[in-house]
Amino acid sequence: MTGREELAAAQEALVAALVAGGPVPPGFDPALVGAASRALLRKRAGEVARTWPALAASFGPRWAERFARWAEGRPPRGSWRDGWDFARAHRDTLDPAATRELALAEARWCYDGTGEPRPRRFALRRIPGAGVAVVVSGRPQTVLRRPS
């Protein structure tokens, strides 16, 4: 293995330890790697909160802790997909605003949790407690509210 290949392997191992729950590579201080990993999880939670504001608000001051606990050991997939995956995993505990945010995303995009999200051309999605989201030509057209 060349010096460049060894460096690349060491960098890959360090990144895995920092963001994906990998073991701390030899030669690195586990306490410092752990502190950096926790800081990166907090940053990731903030990025997801900006992308999914209702989702983050539904957990209030517990947001960063709850997200970090869920995200620990999971490699980042971008704030949009991380938020969507988190929302799906916590669907039963979301408040109405976060449920609506998730339902609108599911109406606009086809995403199975593994591949890249693809826009939908047409969709109807029930929003619990709020009505129905209608997507035509990839755009949410209307949200119908149930009569009180």
| Shared domain check, 59 and 125 | no
Domain-terminating residue out of 69, 94, 119? 94
Q: Tell me: the pLDDT tens digits for 83-132?
A: 999 999 999 999 999 998 998 888 888 898 888 998 877 777 777 766 77
Backbone φ/ψ region at 138: left (φ over 0), alpha (ψ -120 to 50), beta = left
| Shared domain check, 86 and 115 | no
The answer to whether residue 103 sits within a structural domain is no
The answer to whether residue 104 sits within a structural domain is no
| Shared domain check, 61 and 115 | no
With a CB cutoff of 8 Å and minimum separation 6, the contacts of 58 are 93, 94, 95, 97, 98
Among 62, 69, 107, CA closest to 84:
107
| Shared domain check, 119 and 88 | no
| Shared domain check, 125 and 82 | no
The answer to whether residue 100 sits within a structural domain is no
Give the C-alpha separation, 32 to 12, whole Å.
Answer: 17
| Shared domain check, 116 and 53 | no
| Shared domain check, 115 and 66 | no
Instruction: Give the pLDDT score at 94.
Output: 94
Per DSSP, the residues of 109-142 read EE--SSS--EE-SEEEEEETTTEEEEEETTEEEE
| Shared domain check, 82 and 16 | yes
Looking at the structure of the chain, the number of domains it has is: 2
Give the C-alpha separation, 35 to 93, whole Å.
Answer: 29
| Shared domain check, 114 and 89 | no
Instruction: Give the pLDDT score at 133.
Output: 72
At 138, is the pLDDT very low, low, confident or very high (cuts 50, 70, 90)?
low
| Shared domain check, 24 and 89 | yes
Token look-up 């209307």 returns: 142
Interval 34-42 mean pLDDT = 93
The answer to whether residue 72 sits within a structural domain is yes
| Shared domain check, 78 and 134 | no
Q: Which domain holds residue 26?
A: 3-94
The answer to whether residue 31 sits within a structural domain is yes
With a CB cutoff of 8 Å and minimum separation 6, the contacts of 136 are 121, 122
Instruction: Give the pLDDT score at 100.
Output: 86
User: What is the reported pTM?
Assistant: 0.80
